[in-house]
Amino acid sequence: MIKIGNIELPEFPLLLAPMEDVSDPPFRRLCKMHGADLMYSEFISSEGLIRDAIKSRKKLDIFDYERPVGIQIFGGDEEAMAMSARIVETVNPDLVDINFGCPVKKVVCKGAGAGVLKDIDLMVRLTKAVVSSTHLPVTVKTRLGWDSTSINIDEVAERLQETGIKALTIHARTRAQMYKGEADWEHISRIKQNPNIEIPIFGNGDIDSAEKALEYKQKYACDGIMIGRAAIGYPWIFNEIKHFFKTGEHLPEPTISDRLLAVRQHAEWSAEWKGERLGLVEMRQHYSNYFRGIPHFKEFRKKFLEVFTLEEMNSLIKETQQFYEEYQAQL
C-alpha cells in the first residue's frame, strides 16, 4: 500500500495528471468511474487565487465522489504560494500539489512552473512556504531539468524531500522537450534506487497502453504511474491497465455504445457544473478524442460541434447509435 501522508492508495496507484482545460470535475468524475486512484485539479495560479479571480476560484471545486483528490497550485513568489495554500485548505482537498513542471511560456515567463527548474534554491523556498502553511500533505510534480545539459532531478528529489513533501511525480522530460521526444524514465529509476529517498516516486510520460504501463512498472520500479494525454477521450485506460496487471489479458475495447455513454455523461456533468450552453461548448474539444479511429465519425463530428442543449445532445447520441448499429449489421 502506498501512503501520502494519511492518504492510503493501492499498491501501485494510477494517477490522473492535472491538465489545463481538461482535468475539471466532469472529466475527473469520468476517470474516477473508470479506475483512476488519485486525481488533481487543473493547475491554479497562486496570484489568481489571491486576487479572487473567478476562473481560479472555480478550479477549487471538488466533490466527495472523486476523493482522494488534490488541488495543484503554481507560482514564483513565496508569500503568494503560502497564502494560496491556506486558501486551498479551506475547501478541504486531500492534498496540495505544487506544479514545477508546466513548460508553457506564459507560465515559465512568470518564473513559475518549469521556470523554477533553473533555480533549485527558489524551488526549495517555495515548497517550504507551502508545507509550512498547511496541515495537508504536500506533493510536487516536476521535470528532469530545464534542458539536457542541466538535468538536476537527483538534487531536486533529495532537497524537496527534506522540505517535508510526501510524494514526488516526475515527468521524465526536460522543459526544453515540452511534450516532444521520448520520456527518459532511467532518471526515475535512478531516483528510486537512491537509498536516501523514502517518499513515493510516481512516473509520468508516454504511458499510453496497458503493455507499456506494465513494462515501465517492472523496468523502472516506480511507486505508481501518472497518466495524462492518453486519458483524454479514453478514461477506460485506467481499468484496462489494472486488468492487464492482474490477468495479462486485455479488456474488450470500448464499443460505440460505451463511447456514446461516456460522451453523454461527460456532457451532462459539464452542463451541470458550467451551465448548459458553456458546458456543451467546452465539450467540443473532446469529441474527436472519444471517437478517434472510429470509421465515418467525421460525418457526425460537425453535428456534435453544433449542439447547444442537452436535448439536442441526447437526440444526436440516439442518431449516432442507430447509425453505427446499422453499420455493424452490414459488416
CB contact at 8 A, 2 and 223: yes
Give the residue numbers annotated as catalytic, written as ranges: 102
For residue 315, report the phi and psi dihedrals to the nearest 5 degrees.
Answer: -65, -45
Which among 312, 298, 226, 216 has a CA at the least distance from the CA of 267?
312
CB contact at 8 A, 137 and 7: yes
CB contact at 8 A, 291 and 297: yes
Q: Cα angle at 19 between 227 and 126, to 5 degrees?
A: 100
Burial class (CB in 10 A: 0-12, 13-18, 19+), 218: exposed
C-alpha cell at 98: 505544487
CB contact at 8 A, 113 and 99: yes
C-alpha cell at 172: 521524465
Query: How far is the C-alpha of 231 from the C-alpha of 221, rounded, in Å?
Result: 22
Return all residues near 106 (Cβ < 8 A) that are at least 6 apart: none
Q: Cα angle at 120 between 117 and 126, to 5 degrees?
A: 95
Strands 14-16 and 224-227: parallel
What end-to-end distance do the CA atoms of the chain give, in Å? 47
Strands 69-74 and 38-40: parallel
Within 10 Å of residue 104's Cβ, how many Cβ atoms? 15
